[in-house]
Structure 1
Amino acid sequence: MRTCSKYFNLKRVYSWIHPFLLCFIFCIPSHATYYFTTELEAAYKEIVQLKFTEATKRITAEQQRDPHNGLPVYLRSLAETTQLLFSEDEQQYQILKSSESAYLKLLNANNLTTSPYHNFCLAEVKLQWAFVKMKFNDEVNGALNTKQALGLLNENLKTHPAFVPTKKSLGLLNVIIGSVPNSHAWIASSLGFKGNIEAGMNMLQEVIDSKNIYLQEALLFKIIAEQYILNRDSKMESIKLLYAKNPNNILYGYLYAAILCKHSKSEEALTVIERLPENAYESLAVIDYLHGDVLLQHGNYVESRIYFNRFLSEFKGKNLTKDATYKLFLSYWLMNADADANTYWQKITSVGQTTYESDKYAHKIAQANELPNKQLAKIRLYTDGGLYEKGLEVFNETNLSDLLTKKDKIEYYYRAARLFQKSGKTKECMEYYVKVITLSTDTKNNYYFAPNSALQLGYIYVQLKNTPQAKYYFNLAIAYKNHEYENSIEQKAKIALHEIK
């Protein structure tokens, strides 16, 4: 079983790294350089695989072997920040955040400005800590880091145009900043950089085609962008192949399972999850969350609790905790164990934070004390899991006249639309999506049902090659404000509008 004892203990490692690091800062290199050794290449690949303990040992040995090589500094920063991004451990962040300036000082002391790796490594460290700062809600300093990284990367591209690694990071930033929703437009404005999604994807592809050491990192970025930013649902072959070649890689396995779930292929996702190595790498708590989610979709309510509870006990961060608590509530609520369900219902508003949209939704309905309709909740879970026949069975058993609130009536049509869309009944789903939008004009509370209905109608009209109607519905999706999925729906609609111009 994956246990919390397998987590990489950053505090312990930092305690024996720190004295060496301080000593190193004050030793100005006499023959500074940047170069990958076989051991450093292995360490880099281990970081991408989340094998932090092994990577750190190799990096330390290489720093001791040649203290004038700047690449171990960059790799140590990469290991720390990657671990922080996955663990979301606030305590470890407070311990480690000062190391950013130490790493930058080491790299600047190297002062080998003629090497393309010099500005690249400086930019990478800046960018690594930018992502960490934003993860821990320090968006202003995260944006400042990003701006500084952009300057270094653009300078490197100009000075060393043939240096491929620069395009890995610039490509990623072009995609991310080019797809920023309006709520975070201030970040793009402060950077003085609008980003360009197409240019960014081309840069990432160039890195992949070059067979550079950064190939797999660029491929991961491209896969994530295709699935979660560009919504290119057909692009599954890359992650499928990557996982097939690396079946023991916990990161690739998790990402493949998550994408399968996104496509409502929960049976396949469950197979991938159950085949992941139990003790090979440091535990990734979010896998327990995903495992619980799949089991809940299948109606295995009792078993799903094992994984949701383990996620909540092992995960050090605040994201997904409201949603996991809500799903523990559902696991009892849908078995009519209302007293136990109420225990978790009461906890939702007091745990975690509302950065993730699923957490926003859980918090919103719990705060309003809007207990979900059990039949509609089952339809949603079966639809999300790809169990369409079971979903249709519950839908046919549900009478619209039994639904007492307007929200439930709107959700009834929305759940029907999602079920019919995913099971290939385009005409029926379109009719239901239109009903959702029509009924939602005068509702007191803004929910995501109408905005996502508009978004899905936009996608359908793109497939039908009806561009005017597609544009109408994408713009309608953007027009809805103050709902829990506003950022992602607006982002997807804006990208879709850009692609059909």
Structure 2
Amino acid sequence: MAQPHPFFLFLLAFLCLHLPSYANSYLNKELTSAYSESLKLKLAGSRAIVQKELQRNDKNAVSLLLANYNDFLEICTEQDQTKLKKLIDAQELRLDKLDALKEKSVWVEYAKAEIRAQLATSELLFGNRVAAAWDFRKAYLQLQSNAKKYPEFIPNRKTLGVMQVLLGSVPDEYKWFLNIVGLGGNTVAGLTNLQKAAQEPNLFQNEAKLLHALLLQLLDEENASATLPQISSLVQTQPDNLLFNFVAVLLHKKAKKGELALQFYQARPRSGNYSSFPYLHHMAADLYLFRGDYDTSIKENRYFLEQHKGKHYLKAANFKLYFAYWLSNHKPQAKWHYQQVRQVGATITEEDKYAENFVSRNEEPNRFLLLARLHSDGGYFDQALKEISRLVITDETPQPVRAEYFYRKARIYHGQLQLEQAIKFYKTTIAASADEPLYFSAHAALQLGYIYQKLEKYDLAKKYLMQAQSFSNHAYKNSIQAKAKLALSTLP
């Protein structure tokens, strides 16, 4: 019998020594299915698939990553404080397992970065800011390293892009922290990376599409509506995907398309196979409030408060319940929820901050202004204009009421694309409220920047976007400054 050539023996020995370190991590059809179920928020089904894969091979970085997706999405959707420590500990344990692997591959390095980023978000969601900052830093540095080692690995661009955008839009007052931790972002580069991950076929392509749309809405509300057809298409393609449905409701709500948002909400998939997602009901309560359906709005927010296990949006939900009861002339219930705003939850989200700030002034809303605001936020501009036209402004009208009156009129005319009228009232808003701790002047300046940018009057756009950044004593400071900063970065 012929003996094999020594070279082939050497090659076989080489493969035996080196193949295991590259063969542990892989993506198969079972894990692809698990990821699909996870993205639909069918977390129990995804967990069952991933668990079987981990029993088969507990050193597969892809299995560890997808196991983490399920814990991370549970934290985000359910926000159950009683489960937080267990779910965060599980994420840290997976990182330890990945660090212990001898395998050096793109999946291992990517899983480390992705899980670290999810851990940072989980910690931030529950107020652990210091821990979140350092995990965010580690994730970002890992993603940058991955980009150099594996430039053709498209999924890495998804999370790297998100982090670049977030770091690039940090308000100036927090720049000192970025300097301490040695980080810097680039919003334009981040959006480019994210868009590439959303356009090129890869496992995480649809997730990248969602993140791209959400970040555009967060940072560029003037152009965010361009993503609505894409998100609507995703929902049509996967009508059983609750996460896609949630993003469709959220983005249409933000775009002041209340009726379309309600259509998505009412058509959402419902069964015991999905993760509970109480926040959906809080969003729906807003949509019904915009429409003027106070009974249904009350029902949705009360259900949210019964089901929600977290500390966010408790003030906001009670605040909206106060509005719904007050507008429907149920004064005792309105008063009770007004008092609850101060007693529950935390002031971390801008929505909760606004609710707290409002009740701290011990003021009753102006009915005409409130109705104009709610109808306008839902895209019911004719009703909004009708309500605000009933309010008579005189020299004795308090300054905050005057400022809001001009601001609401500007928003209504802007929504109706009557730009000359919108510009006029935005400028009047700034003059009427610049010295008050209200967000009207800052948002008016931002909107003027957007309008002049669209009209290609770039000097005026720059002037008002910079002015929007200069207002700091209001509840929506961070988001407005971030949007103005992004818009400035895109000016020629």
Contact 1:143-1:190 at 8 Å conserved across structures = no
Q: CA deviation at 1:187?
A: 4.5
Q: Give the whole-Å Cα distance in 2 for the aligned partners of 1:366 and 1:111.
A: 57
User: Which residue of structure 1 aligns with residue 107 of structure 2?
Assistant: 117
Q: CA deviation at 1:208?
A: 2.9
Q: CA deviation at 1:155?
A: 2.0
Contact 2:77-2:276 at 8 Å conserved across structures = no
User: Which residue of structure 2 aligns with residue 325 of structure 1?
Assistant: 318
Residues 420/317 of structure 1: CA separation in 2 closer, same or farther (3 Å cut):
same
Q: Give the whole-Å Cα distance in 1 for the aligned partners of 2:169 and 2:406.
A: 30
The within-5 A match list for 1:354-365 is: 354-365=347-358
User: Which residue of structure 2 aligns with residue 171 of structure 1?
Assistant: 161
User: Which residue of structure 2 aligns with residue 94 of structure 1?
Assistant: 85
Find 2:410's aligned residue among 396, 417, 430: 417
Contact 2:313-2:351 at 8 Å conserved across structures = yes
Contact 1:298-1:382 at 8 Å conserved across structures = yes
Residue 267 of structure 1 pairs with residue 259 of structure 2: yes
Q: Give the whole-Å Cα distance in 2 for the aligned partners of 1:405 and 1:339.
A: 27
Q: Give the whole-Å Cα distance in 2 for the aligned partners of 1:215 and 1:46.
A: 15
Contact 1:183-1:487 at 8 Å conserved across structures = no
Q: Give the whole-Å Cα distance in 1 for the aligned partners of 2:403 and 2:199.
A: 48
Find 1:258's aligned residue among 246, 250, 262: 250
Q: CA deviation at 1:148?
A: 1.2
Residue 204 of structure 1 pairs with residue 194 of structure 2: yes
Q: Give the whole-Å Cα distance in 1 for the aligned partners of 2:209 and 2:473.
A: 34
Find 2:470's aligned residue among 437, 454, 479: 479
Contact 1:133-1:141 at 8 Å conserved across structures = yes
Residues 155/463 of structure 1: CA separation in 2 closer, same or farther (3 Å cut):
closer
Contact 2:78-2:276 at 8 Å conserved across structures = no
Q: Give the whole-Å Cα distance in 2 for the aligned partners of 1:97 and 1:283.
A: 19
- Per-residue CA distance 1:311-362 (angstroms, 9 max, x = gap): 1111111222211111100111112222221111111111111111121111
* Stretch deviating more after TM superposition (235-244 or 410-419): 235-244
Q: Which amino acid aligns with 1:357?
A: E
Q: CA deviation at 1:183?
A: 4.2
Find 2:309's aligned residue among 304, 311, 316: 316
The within-5 A match list for 1:215-294 is: 215-231=205-221, 232-235=223-226, 236-279=228-271, 280-294=273-287
* Stretch deviating more after TM superposition (231-240 or 72-81): 231-240
Q: CA deviation at 1:243?
A: 1.4
Q: Give the whole-Å Cα distance in 1 for the aligned partners of 2:150 and 2:270.
A: 43
Contact 1:31-1:68 at 8 Å conserved across structures = no
Q: Give the whole-Å Cα distance in 2 for the aligned partners of 1:463 and 1:122.
A: 42
Find 2:129's aligned residue among 119, 128, 139: 139
Unmatched segments (≥5 aa) in structure 1: 1-28
Q: Give the whole-Å Cα distance in 2 for the aligned partners of 1:84 and 1:469.
A: 44
Q: Give the whole-Å Cα distance in 2 for the aligned partners of 1:176 and 1:243.
A: 26
Residue 383 of structure 1 pairs with residue 376 of structure 2: yes
Q: Give the whole-Å Cα distance in 2 for the aligned partners of 1:47 and 1:354.
A: 30
Q: Give the whole-Å Cα distance in 2 for the aligned partners of 1:101 and 1:492.
A: 34
Residues 402/297 of structure 1: CA separation in 2 closer, same or farther (3 Å cut):
farther
Contact 2:446-2:480 at 8 Å conserved across structures = yes
The within-5 A match list for 1:27-38 is: 33-38=24-29
Q: Give the whole-Å Cα distance in 2 for the aligned partners of 1:224 and 1:264.
A: 15
User: Which residue of structure 1 aligns with residue 419 of structure 2?
Assistant: 426
The within-5 A match list for 1:60-71 is: 60-71=51-62
SS in 2 for 1:447: coil
Q: Give the whole-Å Cα distance in 2 for the aligned partners of 1:286 and 1:461.
A: 36
Number of aligned pairs?
470
- Per-residue CA distance 1:3-46 (angstroms, 9 max, x = gap): xxxxxxxxxxxxxxxxxxxxxxxxxx998610012111111111
Find 1:126's aligned residue among 116, 123, 141: 116
Q: CA RMSD in A?
A: 1.8
Q: Give the whole-Å Cα distance in 1 for the aligned partners of 2:357 and 2:403.
A: 17
Q: Give the whole-Å Cα distance in 1 for the aligned partners of 2:189 and 2:47.
A: 34
User: Which residue of structure 2 aligns with residue 104 of structure 1?
Assistant: 95
Q: CA deviation at 1:132?
A: 0.6
* Stretch deviating more after TM superposition (343-352 or 98-107): 98-107
User: Which residue of structure 2 aligns with residue 194 of structure 1?
Assistant: 184
Identity %: 31
Q: Give the whole-Å Cα distance in 1 for the aligned partners of 2:43 and 2:362.
A: 43
Q: CA deviation at 1:101?
A: 2.8
Contact 1:322-1:348 at 8 Å conserved across structures = yes
Contact 1:329-1:341 at 8 Å conserved across structures = yes
The within-5 A match list for 1:367-382 is: 367-382=360-375
* Stretch deviating more after TM superposition (55-64 or 318-327): 318-327
Q: Which amino acid aligns with 1:253?
A: N
Unmatched segments (≥5 aa) in structure 2: 1-19
